[in-house]
Amino acid sequence: MPASLSSNRLILGLVSALALGSVSLPVLAQERPDLVVGVADLPPTLEPGKELSNVGTRVNYSIFDTLIRRDFLSAEGGGGSELVPGLATSWTRIDDLTLEIKLREGVKFHNGSPLTAEDVAFTFSPERLSGENALLPEGPAYFSVLSEVKVIDPTTLHFITKAPDPLLEQRLASWASWVVNKEDWLAKAEQDGGLPMFPVGTGPYMLEEYKADEKIVLSANDGYFGGVPNAATVTFREVPEPSTRVAGLVSGEFDIITNVSPDQIEQINSYDDIEARSVVLANSHVLVYSVTDPVMDDARIRQALNLAIDRDLLNEALWGGKAVVPNGHQYPEYGDMYTPDFVGVEYNPERARELLKEAGYNGELIKYTTQPNYYLNALPAAQVIVEMWKEVGVNVELNVVESLTGVDVGALQVRTWSNSTRYPDPVGGVWNTWGPHSGPQKTNKTWIGTEGVARFNELGAVLESTVDLATRQEAAWEMIDIWKADAPGTVLYQPLETYGVAKDVNWNPYTFYYMDLRPYNLSFEGK
């Protein structure tokens, strides 16, 4: 079992001194500290195109690499959007439909196999990721634009799209784009019955041990092209109870903890050797409504539920005013694709009561389902929202479940969810999360069969297949208007994500759930 970093801090000075001498790398590798991270939950697999979740990407970001990397440190606050080389050394637009990728030479997967263009082509292939019947069901949401990935030579590929795609480079730097080893993936897929649980990547850390619901241990990949990792091992230990994670940070059992609530920040900062580090996420906590449920099939009822939520009060009560209530399902980071004048969310309980009356709502029961630990503050938010809904005349019952595993999510009237902005554009936000390949439309079928969703899908197809700014703006702004009017759900707020961190761990959080432990973002020299 790897020792906590705190148990190794006394030898850091010795390690630094030795580094100035003639000590060989293998000896240094033995004396690097072990990092222990206390997390609320762990992913059930480490297949990077399947575990597109906050708990999954947190771990997978260190195991796998993308062709292009988004440099989150390029802007203050961990939200930079500059694109820099990853497994690709360069990328060039050959024409409106073709992006040429040049691969980095000498890169090896964790099993020792060299990275090849064939591995990349397989990663994005129709059978694995980009086709309508892909083994990874969420893949088409990100790469249905692909027509073909053509291998030109061992280090050159052409990504050919079905129409001009203004976001292809951003797609290759984002979710679902982590590159896997073809031979390993296929062998493990056959062994695991369809999808491999633990494919290999090229990242700075590789899987050493996996114990479901307990821990994931990663060991350093000293041959990493981005430099030798600064931790010998990284252990993600599952600790669902927030107070237990804080106690572990205080005692030195953990070096970093996740999902710190705002009311724990002052406590953590009161100690000399630990501190809270926070970012507002490029992610919104949302509610999902079933438009096909007989109680909720009138859009006016769903609109009423949205109007009855005082999001500013939720922000103050649960987040100390440090979360952000966005202007609908859109965000300023979209730049020219953002419309500041749109009224995205409103609090109007009187209008909510009027809409319920107009819809003929007669006190039918609505169940609000949430998990207590998956999303920070999800349960207290649900408890408050339930009372807000009761105030406008809704007969609502809170249904708390430990996990949605085995639950027919499509049958739930109201449930908690979150939407991450995969890339700084509406395609990476409302379209990815609510379009035809999304959970609400494809997997769970909670938003289907309305005139609004049909028009939304028409506009989304335009949005992702043209580079003309005016055309894209018109399509995107109508889409967010439809989403608000059809009300298949609602945005609550962008949460404050806070980590507790030992002060001698130099590490910066990002506006995504990625936990970047590469050498440029993790060191132990002290602050």
Give domain limits for the chain: 1-64+203-281+495-527, 65-195, 283-493
State the angle between helix axes of 469-486 and 299-307 in degrees (0 to 180), rounded to the nearest 10: 90
pLDDT value at position 77? 62
CA distance 42 to 515: 13
Q: Output the pTM of the full model.
A: 0.81
* CATH code matching the domain that covers 283-493, chosen among 3.30.1280.10, 3.10.310.10, 3.30.70.260, 3.10.105.10: 3.10.105.10
Model pLDDT for residues 35-46, shown as the tens digit of each residue:
999 999 999 999
pLDDT value at position 138? 77
Q: Is the domain 1-64+203-281+495-527 a CATH 3.30.70.270 member? A: no
Look at residue 482 and give its three-state secondary structure: helix
pLDDT value at position 333? 83
Are 20 and 13 a contacting pair, CB within 8 Å? no
Residues of the chain with pLDDT under 50: 1-30, 527
Consecutive H or E run containing 420:
strand 414-420
Tokens of 62: 């260190």
pLDDT value at position 18? 30
- Examine domains 1-64+203-281+495-527 and 283-493 and report if their fold is the same: no
CA distance 394 to 363: 6
Return the DSSP state at 113.
P
- CATH class belonging to 65-195: alpha beta
pLDDT value at position 210? 97
Residue in this structure with the two tokens 């309980």, named with its chain if needed: 349
Q: What is the CA radius of gyration of the chain?
A: 24
Tokens of 445: 């079928």
pLDDT value at position 527? 40
